[in-house]
Amino acid sequence: MIEAGTYHNLKVNRISDFGLYLANEEGDEVLLPNRYVSLNDKVGDSLEVFVYHDSEDRLVATTEKPLATVGEAAFLEVVDKTVHGAFLNWGLTAKDLFLPNRNMVGHVTPGRKYVVYLYRDNITGRAVATMSFKGHIANENLTVKRGDRVNILVAQEVPSGYRAIIDNRHWGMLYRDQLFGEIHIGDRGPAYIRKVTADNRIDLSLQQEGYDEVKTSAERLLELIRRNNGFLALNDDSTPEQIRNTVHMSKKVFKRSAGYLMKRGDIKMDETGIKLTK
């Protein structure tokens, strides 16, 4: 079956005045309009396309890459709003993503971005968005463990820090006192599972723990020293606040990183601060 909101590998089945008709192994067809067709395309060729419903409720294929597919969370901009809901820019020229009124949480304003989850409507088969994550993002059955490298989308700010969506599946927490740089709703990137509690709560870290973390942080510290003309007014006696504000690290990570660089012979440290030796 050819379903909306996801990618399909299909073969060119026939050519028409409107474009190419692509088919799966069962013979189901979908149109790839002329604007996405290459002169080199021919019957029998395999193409990877994204499928969605057009304004007349027909399945259509495109070679464009959307910002998110069904089963993924994304930070998308509202481009229009009607009495029925809002429309989001999901990266397709010919089609915006529908966010029905029933799926909104709070007030939605055109021009602003919101974290949403994409799913396929059971009745219409259309790809739609929701701002309610219940039933989509959950921690009952975890697929991650401590130490895993994951991809996150920062979704909500709370007093203790930020809630993030892990691999489009689970909730995790970035605690404010363990962040050493700016972070914003909608940020994407790698993170590490720092802790999994008995009740399946997940604590996240933006830095890898252990020896790999020390090497990464040490190289970052070395680059900061170079950019500052080979000197930083920090040493083992500096306060955690001074270290955090200067190099965006905890004091523990700073000391381990500096120790690594001193052992390697890249820096020396005295009562005035850190200096390059090379």
The reported pLDDT for the residue numbered 265 is 93
d(CA 207, CA 193): 10
* pLDDT class of 154 with cuts at 50, 70, 90: very high
Has residue 210 got a pLDDT over 70? no
Joined together, the tokens standing for residue 209 give: 């723990």
Pairing of strands 19-23, 73-81: unpaired
Q: Using 50, 70 and 90 to split pLDDT, how confident is the model at 220?
A: confident
Are residues 13 and 22 in contact, defined by beta-carbon separation less than 8 angstroms? Answer: yes
Q: What is the pLDDT of residues 82-101, one digit of tens each?
A: 999 999 999 999 899 999 99
For the domain spanning 211-276, the CATH number is 1.10.10.10
Ramachandran sector of residue 268 (left: φ over 0; alpha: ψ -120 to 50; beta: rest)? beta
Mean pLDDT of the chain: 93
Element (H, E) at 8: strand 6-16
Looking at residues 156-165, what average pLDDT do you find? 96
pLDDT score, position 211: 53
CB burial class (10 A; 0-12, 13-18, 19+) of residue 61? buried
Cβ-contact 21, 31 below 8 angstroms: yes
CATH fold for the domain made of 6-62: OB fold (Dihydrolipoamide Acetyltransferase, E2P) (2.40.50)
For 251-268, how does the pLDDT look when each residue is reduced to its tens digit (9 = 90+)? 888 898 999 899 999 999
Percent of the chain with pLDDT over 90: 81
Sheet architecture: strand order including 274-276: 231-232, 274-276, 267-269
The listed CATH number (3.40.50.1370, 2.40.50.140, 3.50.50.100, 3.30.420.40) that belongs to domain 73-130: 2.40.50.140
Residues 174-197 have a mean pLDDT of 90
DSSP string over 136-193: TS--SS----TT-EEEEEEEEEETTEEEEEETTTEEEEEEGGG--S---TT-EEEEEE
| Residue spans per domain, the chain | 6-62, 73-130, 149-205, 211-276
pLDDT digits (tens, 9 = 90+) for 47-76: 999 999 998 899 999 999 999 999 999 999
Tokens matching residue 21: 């008709």
pLDDT tens digits, 2-25:
999 999 999 999 999 999 999 999
pTM (predicted TM-score): 0.79
Same fold for the pair 149-205 and 211-276: no
Q: What is the mean pLDDT of residues 196-218?
A: 83
Number of H helices, E strands in the chain: 3, 18
Please tell me the class of the 149-205 domain.
mainly beta
Listed in sequence order, the residues at least 6 apart from 193 whose beta carbon sits closer than 8 Å to its beta carbon are 144, 145, 146, 147, 148, 150, 172, 202, 203, 204
How many residues in the chain?
A: 278
Residue 122 half-sphere exposure toward CB, CA atoms < 13 A: 0
